[in-house]
Amino acid sequence: MRITRDDVLHIARLAEIAVEEAELAPLVKQLDRIVGYVAQLDQAPEQSTPPPFVPGPAQVAWRADTVQPVPLAIPPAELAPAWREGFFIVPRLAGMEPE
């Protein structure tokens, strides 16, 4: 794909950039070289990615990554002064009583 003077003017208008006539010829050459380089990169053969590094022997089996709750040493019901249906029972504050 070749970049022309009209392409550069169109891009400049879309980007709302003022391009002076003296800057136009070098800009066309620069953009044409950039687009040509990107086209070369598209033609390069794709390389397969190497397998990820895993320390240790390859035959080591990984365990399933599952979330499991950690049991507490002392359940909260044993620590609470009052406990009902999974909730702590606390006394009402005097400031919260209706007047």
Q: Could you report the per-residue pLDDT of 59-93, keeping only the tens digit for each?
A: 777 788 888 888 888 888 888 888 888 898 888 77
| pLDDT over 70 at 96, yes or no | no
Burial 77-94 (b: 16+ CB within 10 A, else e): eeeeeeeeeeeeeeeeee
- Predicted confidence at residue 99, as pLDDT, reads 63
Query: How many CB atoms lie under 10 A from the CB of residue 45?
Result: 4
